[in-house]
Structure 1
Amino acid sequence: MVDYTSTSPRNRSSGWKQAHTQRSKRQKTKAVRYRTSPKREVNVQTVLRIGLDWGAKCVLAAVLVYGLFHGYLFFTTAPQFNISRVTFHGNKTVSAENLYAVAAPVFGENIFHVDLENVLTPIRSDNWVQDVSVIRKLPQSLHIHLQERVPYARLQLERVYLMDHYGVLIALDSGGYDALPLIQAGALDRVELGKPVHIDWVVPGLQAMNSLNQLEAFRERPFNAVRFTEPHHLMFTSGTREVTVRMAVDRLAEGFGNFKMVLEALQSDIATVRFIDLSFADRVVVRDDPAGGAATPIKKS
């Protein structure tokens, strides 16, 4: 069976009218859009002004770059900025002659181009130097400031060394420092100048000695030597060797508190005391003879 679909002339006429109406609407919409869009006019004066502004900026940038370049050349090549003077400050032990010998290569160098690390590195390598800094002083000077290590104690190993309060070994004791506390530590496998000494009790022992010497009873006869004894004790001795104090390494703060209690108990009799044992946890032992003799135990309240 064959099926034919037919369209009447009336339907075809209606379709053409509808299509024509939609096309007319689109054309009217385009015409309205065209009429309502703003007119673009080229303003010659505005374009010229913008061009001149950008041209002026380019010229200014070129002049600035040119000036910077030639300024750089002037400051880095002109003889007016060649180093002619180096001064050192803060050096008391470090030889000024050695310092100037280290600084000699920088003379005549441009102050802006000189490699300051070439000067500072050898100065820092001196064991007496704790810190060093440098300031450029225009047009031709360098000011170098040193902070030297201050000997705080003497450390007796196989030889006697000077040590600062950080535990850093400075140099061999060549004399002139007999007033400093003496730490008798025996021997070490390795001794390196400019490095901290690796003995656990040294710094706490020095701090305890300093606390003991702050007490009124021992300002006239301060402790100036400390040594380690087995199993874990520190022995503090006064300069005249009249008084010896023994304290436990792991209870130094507690021992110092006990020491102040002893001073309050003895009062004026402290002048006759020769040995005080603070190594016990529950009592303090006081003797008139450090080698033995009568002992007076003072129990903690």
Structure 2
Amino acid sequence: MDFVIAGGRTFAPKERKSKGFELASKLFLAGVVIYLLYASYNFLTSDPRFQITDVTFSGNHALLENQLLEWLGQVHGENLFAYDLSRASERLAEHPWVLSASVQRKFPQKIQIELTERVPYARIKFEKVFLMDNFGVILSEEKPEYRNLPLIVQPGVKPENFSGERVIQSLKTMHYFNKLSFFEKNPLDIAELKGHSRIIFSTRNRDLQIQMSMETLTEGFKKFRIVLDTLEDDAVKIQMIDLSFKDQVVVRDRIPSHSTSMKTPTN
């Protein structure tokens, strides 16, 4: 039997039953899908065939694999699909020697880790000597294979209070000096920061010092180049070159009897 409602539309009981059946079918199918997804997830995350048995590293040179595994924490025996790759990458990036890290799953039981390590750029001396990279990040205590790197001495500063900006400026200035032929056979390899405004560079043979102001490193280097020809003529006799004064260079003789300061105008 059909019914007529306002507006002239006919409504049949069969139509209502059909819609009810269609809704029930959709709910049933949704339930089946949810169950299958849950069963699949439960299978993937609990089956022992997906336990991690192999962890490989690439890109590590200074760091050993056992050091990295100890830093990461438990990996072997963890489920391949449940293992948190993002957290593992973040944990590795927290290591002082690691610049970046990428962690990937390799079916069925392997984790592959690719690292980019920081490169030691200089040594810096506090109570002990540490290694640092070209961003001023402290890496670790000094290692024997890096003892040829330039040494920065910063008395009275602890590693936790260290700011690398002034140190990086000092190292760049040292690099510019060492590109000059004047330092080809006896390069600068030590920089000592004195207070907040003065720096003293020393050559490898410890027979020449260059004093500069931290506020005028670029200007001091320019002044040095201006008087370079004069300095090369008497390089053997020079003990100290002071570039910290404005518009002049002070040169001190190494021989005690001739140790009076000589001021050389630069303009």
Bin of the TM-score, shorter chain as denominator length: 0.7 to 0.9
Counterpart CA distance in 1 for 2:214 and 2:98 is 31
Q: 1:273: Cα distance to partner?
A: 6.9
Q: 1:160: Cα distance to partner?
A: 2.7
Which stretch shifts more, 104-113 or 266-275?
A: 266-275
Unaligned runs of 5+ in 2: 1-5
Out of 6, 28, 37, the residue aligned to residue 68 of structure 1 is 37
SS in 2 for 1:144: strand
SS in 2 for 1:211: helix
Counterpart CA distance in 2 for 1:106 and 1:203 is 38
Cross-structure match for 1:237? 202
* 1:128-277 map, 5 Å: 128-188=97-157, 191-192=158-159, 195=160, 197-198=162-163, 201-229=166-194, 232-263=197-228, 266=230, 269=233, 271=235, 274=238, 275-277=240-242
Report the residue type matching 1:223 in the other structure: L
Report the residue type matching 2:214 in the other structure: V
Cross-structure match for 2:263? 297
User: Percent of aligned pairs with the same residue?
Assistant: 33
Q: TM-score, normalised by structure 2?
A: 0.76
Q: TM-score, normalised by structure 1?
A: 0.69
Larger proportion of strand:
2
Q: Compute the RMSD of aligned alpha carbons.
A: 3.6
Counterpart CA distance in 1 for 2:182 and 2:147 is 22
Q: 1:128: Cα distance to partner?
A: 3.8
Cross-structure match for 1:57? 26
Cross-structure match for 1:278? 243
Q: Which has the larger radius of gyration?
A: 1
Aligned residue-pair number: 260
Counterpart CA distance in 2 for 1:56 and 1:289 is 99
Q: 1:293: Cα distance to partner?
A: 3.7
Counterpart CA distance in 1 for 2:74 and 2:193 is 49
Unaligned runs of 5+ in 1: 1-36
Q: 1:142: Cα distance to partner?
A: 1.1
Q: Deviations over 1:176-217 (max 9, x none)?
A: 3231112233344xx45xx56258743332222122223344
Counterpart CA distance in 2 for 1:142 and 1:49 is 52
Instruction: Go from structure 1 to structure 2 and tell me whether the alpha carbon gap of 1:262 and 1:98 turns closer, same or farther (over 3 Å shift).
Output: same
Counterpart CA distance in 1 for 2:173 and 2:255 is 20
Cross-structure match for 1:7? none
Is the contact between residue 126 and residue 156 of structure 2 (CA under 8 Å) also seen in structure 1? yes
* 1:78-157 map, 5 Å: 78-100=47-69, 105-114=74-83, 127-157=96-126
Counterpart CA distance in 1 for 2:90 and 2:24 is 51
Counterpart CA distance in 1 for 2:74 and 2:196 is 56
